[in-house]
């Protein structure tokens, strides 16, 4: 895990909002046709709609979060569903606290 990559991903308000929403997906998103909000994650399209941005822009934010190890994507049919990677987030927190 690259702490610098994670910190860069976290210094964007939209990406911070996505992480916050994914912490409690049932509170922030409607039920989905495919994929369970908790087990499978939230469809990228729902995240784009909630942010009021285009799908490609949302995909870029989600890609950055995923590359930083903060979220994981799961393909179901033609959609990708995202959820937080709590184990990686704990590791990043420990690395950060060890440095400051």
The pLDDT of residue 1:
59
Give the integer Cα–Cα distance in Å for 6 and 65.
8
Give the integer Cα–Cα distance in Å for 100 and 92.
13
43: containing domain: 3-99
Domain count of the fold of the chain: 1
The pLDDT of residue 100:
86
Percent of the chain with pLDDT over 90: 95
- Token pair for 16: 């911070």
Q: For 20-46, write each residue's pLDDT tens digit.
A: 999 999 999 999 999 999 999 999 999
At 76, which CATH number? Answer: 1.10.10.10
73, pLDDT greater than 70? yes
pLDDT band at residue 13, thresholds of 50, 70 and 90?
Answer: very high
């Amino acid at each position: 895990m690259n702490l610098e990559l994670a910190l860069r991903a976290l210094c964007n308000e939209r990406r911070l909002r996505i992480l916050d929403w994914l912490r409690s997906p049932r509170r922030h998103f409607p039920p989905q046709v495919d994929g369970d909000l908790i087990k499978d994650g939230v469809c990228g399209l729902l995240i784009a709609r909630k942010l009021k941005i285009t799908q490609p822009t949302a995909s870029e934010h989600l890609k950055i979060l995923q590359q930083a190890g903060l979220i994981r994507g799961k393909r179901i049919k033609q959609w990708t569903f995202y959820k937080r990677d709590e184990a990686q987030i704990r590791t990043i927190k420990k690395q950060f606290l060890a440095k400051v």
